[in-house]
Structure 1
Amino acid sequence: MRYSPTTMIAISRIKAITLDLDDTLWPVWPTIGRAEAALQAWLSKNAPATALLSAQPEVKTAVRAEINARHADRAHDLSFLRLASIRALLQKAGESLHLAEPAFEVFFAERQRVDLFEDALPALAFWSQRLPVVALSNGNADVHRVGIGQHFHASVSAQSLGVAKPDLRIFAAGAQAAGVQLHEVLHIGDDAHADCVGALAAGMQVAWLNREGHDWAHGDTRPHLDVKDLHALCAFWPDYKLIRRPT
């Protein structure tokens, strides 16, 4: 049964919002898939031996696992790990390591081309006119390159801070960026553990964006809200008017 303790949230206490990005504002895996395809096409043209290796899933998986193990202290930095993996494939194929940076830029540029959920822009427009909104992400999307930077007061990432959700320090950094106390923040995210458990431990109010209707499986301490989309969350503000994107 879906858990929706709607009477527990205190909208009047919310002075800022911290907001996850991947799988909250857009589905991430289609984006990563397109970025992987763009990288593969670039390698086929500019580093064909590396492209042949990269086209073998078992080789690419093994290289990435080796990079992750070697750089466990950089697990929060997805851009670093991606670049290191590209460099390792180039080295394995005997091609120039100088190609690593331009290859990564091809991947990274495509990674910023996202397909927003239909509720994302109306929610961002509504909140950003009323409260400071801070992006709080473990990923490496750039809200400005994505094209939604105008809605954000600030952006805090695991890459820039050096720690990832659910570490309490990233939530504290989000509140600090908004200029408010932790208990004055509503954190919104899709990941039950990284977003919800972490933000609850930090003392924030928490809205779990549970688009698929999953059961809560993280103990008795639950998010203040369990919502199916951002329209449903915005509706808790008394002055919210639903404005859907044109179809």
Structure 2
Amino acid sequence: MAAVIAGLRAITLDLDDTLWPIEPAIARAEIALHDWLARHAPAVVQRYDRIALRALRDRVAEQRPDWAHDFTRIRHHSIGLALADCGHDPALADAAFEAFFAARNELLLYEEVEAALTALATHYPLMALTNGNADLRLAGVAQHFVGSVSAREFGVGKPDPRIFHEACRRLGVAPHEVLHVGDDWMLDVEGARAAGLHAAWLCRTPAAAVRDAEVWTIAHLGELVDRLVPSVTN
């Protein structure tokens, strides 16, 4: 890809494992969920430890591929199943999921993210584009974004081109005027390019090789600032 993307007007950004590491957040959230259940539905924790609850969640995801775009529904339903299985009211799943979700959004940004978002947002409208269920406000980064498109809200997730095109529609720009940035090669890079967007692959571990000369490979978002912000300020 050229050093400057001609006609670039907007940037879409993946969230999980792009702005923050997701596995530590999910681990904390599952601990918070288990602690909530221990207080309010003790029979569940007697039968299900945290590993078993995650396995139940995974079984729901496997059995309901039509819910693949909606992590919230999958998790909530699995909690309801565990409650019912142990003789508790499955309606408690609402409050139990709230405990999970609050902890899931206690996110630790990668070191460079706050400064990079501040710099990028000064020059480009930023749109979050995610298959996950993070809340930009709770994560503390909403001020940098003009909006967000989530798979749960839209009904399909990456790499489906329709979700990329929806982000472009909301931004009011054409796909070829947008750069999408994300950590997942298939979902983010291949998905974006198939939809007509430019793509940057964020690989925080050393890449064995650049997979495609037409795709930027960056180790952190600061590299994106170095490439893009001078191009509009010089």
Residue of structure 2 in register with 1:245 after alignment: none
For the Cα contact (< 8 Å) 1:90–1:100, is it kept in 2? yes
Once residues 238 and 174 of structure 1 are traced to their aligned partners in structure 2, the CA distance between those partners, rounded to angstroms, is: 22
User: Which residue identity does 2:76 align to in structure 1?
Assistant: L
Q: Matched residue of 1:126: which SS?
A: helix
Q: CA deviation at 1:74?
A: 0.8
Question: Unpaired runs of 5+ in structure 2?
Answer: none
For the Cα contact (< 8 Å) 1:123–1:230, is it kept in 2? yes
1:189 aligns with 2:190: no
Once residues 26 and 223 of structure 1 are traced to their aligned partners in structure 2, the CA distance between those partners, rounded to angstroms, is: 26
Residue of structure 2 in register with 1:20 after alignment: 14
Q: CA deviation at 1:214?
A: 3.1
Q: CA deviation at 1:9?
A: 4.7
* Alignment deviations for residues 85-141 of structure 1 (CA, whole Å, 9 cap, x no partner): 000101111111121100000000111110000111111111111111000000000
Q: Matched residue of 2:12: which SS?
A: strand
- Please say which of residues 190-199 and 46-55 is displaced more in the overlay: 46-55
Count of matched residue pairs? 231
Q: Specify which of 137, 141, 144 is matched with residue 130 of structure 2.
A: 137
Residue of structure 2 in register with 1:173 after alignment: 166
Q: CA deviation at 1:163?
A: 0.5
Q: Matched residue of 2:227: which SS?
A: coil
1:29 aligns with 2:23: yes
Provide the TM-score with structure 1 as the length reference: 0.88
- Please say which of residues 174-183 and 231-240 is displaced more in the overlay: 231-240
- Please say which of residues 70-79 and 184-193 is displaced more in the overlay: 70-79
Q: Specify which of 206, 211, 215 is matched with residue 204 of structure 2.
A: 211
* Alignment deviations for residues 43-93 of structure 1 (CA, whole Å, 9 cap, x no partner): 111111111223163x43552243123321111100000000000101111
1:92 aligns with 2:92: no
- Please say which of residues 38-47 and 208-217 is displaced more in the overlay: 208-217
Question: Unpaired runs of 5+ in structure 1?
Answer: 1-6, 241-247
Residue of structure 2 in register with 1:199 after alignment: 192
What is the correspondence of 1:95-110 to structure 2 with a 5 Å cutoff?
Answer: 95-110=88-103
What is the correspondence of 1:39-188 to structure 2 with a 5 Å cutoff?
Answer: 39-55=33-49, 57=51, 59-188=52-181
